[in-house]
Amino acid sequence: MKVVILGYGFIGTIHLNAYQKMNDVEVAGIYSTTKTGSIEGIKVYNDLDECLELADVVDICLPTFMHREIFEKAVAKGKHIFLEKPIAHTEEDCRFMLELEQRSNVKIMVGQVLRYFPEYRQLKNKIDPGKPASSLLSRRSQLPVSGKNWSLDRKNSGGVILDLLLHDIDFACWAFGPVTRIFAQSDTEHYYALLTLRHENGSITRLEGSWRYDGGFVQEAEIAQENELFTYNSQEVHPLQVHRNVLTSKDSTEIPAVLLRDAPWYLELREFIDAIRYDQPVPITLQDAYESTRVALLALKSADEKRPISLVKELNA
């Protein structure tokens, strides 16, 4: 199967590593606007259409604000699509893309990768789905690095809520079900946010997202149910830590340290490739991802309008 990677930045690099472990996948090309020549023996294309022609599957790793346009082109050419989260940065783009999907018959999967982190799978499997939960989810890092700093501009990335906290919002929707009410506050730059979600089954989820944390990357979950409490903090479960007496620079985007044979980014792409090979449903559809993306977009609206947003009311409006 021939895959082309569109956008070779932070996540594009991780995806290339994952494909290189698959002997049934050939990365036929990389689309980049800044690089030329080849990367690890793979030809780099500066012409998108030329690159798309090579592919059975396109993997969209470009900045969020470009997703819609690239997605439209790939669907038009009948390519299977792996789309990085978030689907898009506006409700309008999301809906447009959902409509395109309706009319296509290609496989489309969204990279809500937290669902492939085994610790979050454990949490989801151990909680009692018949009982409401009270949860606290937090994700913190230093300010991320991106091409032309696109991710720091809320207009392009959706800020910390859509770019970072969406991981946990998606987990909350996946683990506790649909959301009925949202309240959010953030700082003016949208580098820090606090969210409260009320779910249809009565669960309450409170989230903290921060790009203002220089204490090392942290993902954290605390889930309480009747007579039960689950806790997880990525900084307390490091299986290996190297301590060097040289100064190291901290100038890249931080992600959780994963010490597993198969990283979550590998697992999600592997399942997508298999879904295409064996013509099976994809594990995370555009519609699945839209549920949580929409919650994140409404959280932005709540923070702007300084009021809680009820999804029931919003739907009727």
Partner 1 sequence: MKISILSTAHVHFEAFASAVKQCADTELAGIYDDDAHRGKKKAADLQTVFFENIHDALSVCEAVVVCSENAKHEELVLASIEANKHVLCEKPLAISTVSAERMAKKAVEQDVVLATAFPLRFNTPAMELKQVIDQKLIGEVLAFHGKNPGQCPKGWFIDKKLSGGGALMDHIVHLADLMRWLTGAEVSKVYAEADSFLVPCITIDDVGHVQLEFDNGIIADIDPSWSRPEGFPTWGGIDLRATGTQGAVDLRAYAQKVAQYNNTKTLHHDYGDFEYLYMMNAFVLAIGNQQTELANAWDGVAATKIVEAAYQSAKEHEVVTIA
Which of ligand NAD, partner 1, none sits in contact with 2, Cβ below 5 to 8 A by type?
none
Of 175, 171, 193, 174, whose CA–CA distance to 184 is shortest?
193
Of 126, 128, 108, 124, whose CA–CA distance to 116 is shortest?
124
CB of 150 to ligand NAD, least distance (A): 4
- Work out whether 146 is an interface residue with partner 1 (CB under 8 A): no
Q: Which stretch binds ligand NAD (CB under 6 A): 129-137, 141-149, 187-195, 236-244?
A: 141-149
Candidates 5, 54, 64, 303: give the one binding ligand NAD (CB under 6 A): 64
Q: Which stretch binds partner 1 (CB under 8 A): 14-22, 72-80, 97-105, 203-211?
A: 203-211
**Residue 315, exposed/middle/buried by CB under 10 A (0-12, 13-18, 19+)?**
exposed
> Distance (Å, rounded) from C-alpha 156 to C-alpha 61?
14
Which of ligand NAD, partner 1, none sits in contact with 101, Cβ below 5 to 8 A by type?
none
**Please, which of residues 34-63 interact with ligand NAD by CB under 6 A?**
34, 61-63
Q: Which stretch binds partner 1 (CB under 8 A): 14-22, 39-47, 90-98, 205-213?
A: 205-213
Candidates 2, 73, 124, 212: give the one binding partner 1 (CB under 8 A): 212
Which of partner 1, ligand NAD, none sits in contact with 85, Cβ below 5 to 8 A by type?
ligand NAD
- Work out whether 202 is an interface residue with partner 1 (CB under 8 A): yes
> Distance (Å, rounded) from C-alpha 30 to C-alpha 296?
30
CB of 277 to ligand NAD, least distance (A): 23
- Work out whether 213 is an interface residue with partner 1 (CB under 8 A): yes
Binding mask 77-106 for ligand NAD (x = CB under 6 A): -------xx---------------------
Q: Which is nearer to partner 1, 229 or 246 (CB)?
A: 229
Candidates 225, 257, 258, 301: give the one binding partner 1 (CB under 8 A): 225
Candidates 135, 142, 146, 186: give the one binding ligand NAD (CB under 6 A): 146
Residue 56 backbone dihedrals phi, psi, to 5 degrees: -90, -35
Q: Which stretch binds partner 1 (CB under 8 A): 23-31, 115-123, 221-229, 289-297?
A: 221-229
Residue type, 12: G
Positions touching partner 1 (CB under 8 A) are 131-132, 134, 136, 138, 140, 181, 183, 185-187, 192, 194, 196, 198, 202, 204, 206, 208, 210, 212-215, 222, 224-229, 306-308, 310
Positions touching ligand NAD (CB under 6 A) are 7-12, 32-34, 61-64, 84-85, 111, 113, 146-148, 150, 163, 253
